[in-house]
Amino acid sequence: MGITIKGLGYYTPNKILTNFDLEKIVDTSDEWITTRTGIKERRIAEEESLLDMAYNASLMAFEDARLEPKDIDLIILATLTPDLGFPASACLLQAKLGAGKAYAFDVSAACSGFLYGLEIASSMLITGKSKNVLLVGAEKLSQIVDWSDRSTCVLFGDGAGAAVLSLDGDGELLASVMRSDGSYWEILYAEKCGYIKMKGKELFKLAVRSMAEVCEEVIRKVGVSMKDISLVVPHQANIRIMQALAEKLSIPMEKVYSNIQKYGNTSAASIPIALYEARREGRLKRGDLVLLTAMGGGLTWGASLLRF
């Protein structure tokens, strides 16, 4: 018996901002953005709060899991763009859902937030301290993007993804490796109430190298080979990062899931949204070995190998 993702859900705002729309805001082109990043469009939360997005994604995950908010005893919400300074967005979500039995807190690990949350949730489930956990990754990055900086504003988008986790199922979190290195903080950060600042080229190289290392470590830990992996679901930052990672891991791109063309980089929300869509497209089935990996501000990074 292991940790099973019993239900998945997601929410992306209705408002679509295409590369052509961005051409009217900054000196850029659809051609540059597409070839350098793989992104064609992203969603922008004009009307929705972070809480709205997290709530909608969670309701979908509950329905999928055939559970109700009252069944949950822990809520973990990964975000770097909360609606309030405090309390934690997870507490606001707990109230909105009416999850009266759950305690709730946020995780701040940028793009690795969902994987860090999975690690915490798994420990709570395995030790028997929790029975059913709601894990959400939600971001409203549009509010911390400098819309006059073409080197960053083309990359990010808004959205939320949610997973209901429990021990009651056939899935398993086989192994995970989580890392942080705060000495690299200046490569990707935002000042308090400030905009995202990023050294893209350095981050690109670090992302490929670090994610490849933890993926290899996790595979070694479990004693399987890359050939056994059904699908890699990486954090959606840049299609070229995913291609370089696939090459380093000697995994064909057909086994690497990407929906970056539709959403851009949604930070902590990107992996759960990708998991939902991969399953909907029939690319992820019960029993599959799925490798998740992410890297983001902190720097933080990690990889988790699941039997889905």
Q: How far is the CB of 26 from ligand ACO (least distance, A)?
A: 7
d(C-alpha 12, C-alpha 285), whole Å: 23
d(C-alpha 39, C-alpha 144), whole Å: 19
Q: Binding to ligand ACO by residue 148, rule CB under 6 A?
A: no
Residues 258-277 that bind ligand ACO (CB under 6 A): 265
Beta-bridge partners for 198:
188
Q: How far is the CB of 160 from ligand ACO (least distance, A)?
A: 17
Q: How far is the CB of 137 from ligand ACO (least distance, A)?
A: 13
Instruction: Specify whether 14 is catalytic.
Output: no
Q: How far is the CB of 148 from ligand ACO (least distance, A)?
A: 12
Residues 5-34 that bind ligand ACO (CB under 6 A): 28, 32-33
Beta-bridge partners for 292:
233, 304
Q: Which long-range contacts (CB under 8 A, 24 or more apart) does 99-103 make?
A: 99/69, 99/70, 99/72, 99/75, 99/134, 100/70, 101/70, 101/71, 101/72, 101/73, 102/69, 102/72, 102/73, 102/74, 102/75, 102/134, 103/73, 103/74, 103/75
* Phi, psi dihedral angles at 161 (to 5 degrees): -135, 150
Determine the interface stretch with ligand ACO among 85-93, 147-155, 160-168, 278-286 (rule: CB under 6 A): 147-155
Catalytic residue among 111, 153, 215, 238: 111
Give the DSSP letter of residue 275.
H
d(C-alpha 163, C-alpha 127), whole Å: 19
Instruction: Specify whether 19 is catalytic.
Output: no
Strand pairing class (132-140; 74-78): parallel
Q: Binding to ligand ACO by residue 207, rule CB under 6 A?
A: yes
Residues in contact with ligand ACO, shown as a per-residue x/- string from 74 to 113 under the rule CB under 6 A = -------------------------------------x--
DSSP-based three-state secondary structure for 250 = coil
Of 22 and 134, nearer to ligand ACO (C-beta) is 22
Binding site for ligand ACO (CB under 6 A): 28, 32-33, 36-37, 111, 150-151, 154-155, 188, 198, 200-201, 203-204, 207, 235, 237-238, 265, 295-296
Residues marked active site are found at 111, 235, 265
